[in-house]
Amino acid sequence: MVETSNKAGKLFLCMIGVMLIFAGGVFEWLMIRSYMHAKASRDWPQVDAVVLRSVVDERHVNGSPTEFRLNILFGYSYQGTDYSSDRLTPRGARWTKSAAAVQQLASEYPAGSGHTAWVNPGQPELAILKHDTQAAGYTVWFPALIIVGGCGMILGAIRNPGKSHT
């Protein structure tokens, strides 16, 4: 009876360890991917761009506060061809509840203003005016701790012979 209970406890700890390793691995992969995307856009060629449209959009969803985002369009030339893009960042414009933050962005990118844009050489119709943050690269250690903790649980369960109650 004690041995069956001991095996069940070890199995339970191993299952929790595997779940921690899996969850930590998923978050680790997402953070590394986010960092790599943010890093890659910094290597894209730079071109001059002109803001063609800079408007603050609003949306009203019943039961929720009003949300805002910057609706931007800018034109640029890359390798002799003219393009336009509506991407402020690689992820595009996000909706936010802060009208002031979006108004601040709109004042930084008024229609007719010139800026540096970064062009994706593999998809020249995709260009950005701002890079995503690389903060995910500085916090990859956190999910790694979860993975190490899961491994520790499994090793502890396997190595611990358990106490017999005789």
The pLDDT score that the predictor gives to residue 55 is 94
Does the pLDDT at position 142 exceed 50? yes
pLDDT per position as a tens digit, 50-77: 999 999 999 988 888 999 999 999 999 9
Per DSSP, 126 falls in state -
pLDDT per position as a tens digit, 148-165: 999 999 999 888 665 544
C-beta of residue 73 within 8 angstroms of C-beta of residue 125 = no
In which order are the strands placed within the sheet that holds 81-85? 81-85, 67-78, 46-59, 114-119, 127-128
The pLDDT score that the predictor gives to residue 166 is 47
Is the torsion defined by CA of 58, 107, 43, 30 positive or negative? negative
The pLDDT score that the predictor gives to residue 48 is 97
Per DSSP, 68 falls in state E
- The residue to which tokens 């990118």 are assigned: 109
User: Where does the pLDDT of residue 132 fall: very low under 50, low under 70, confident under 90, or very high at 90 and above?
Assistant: confident
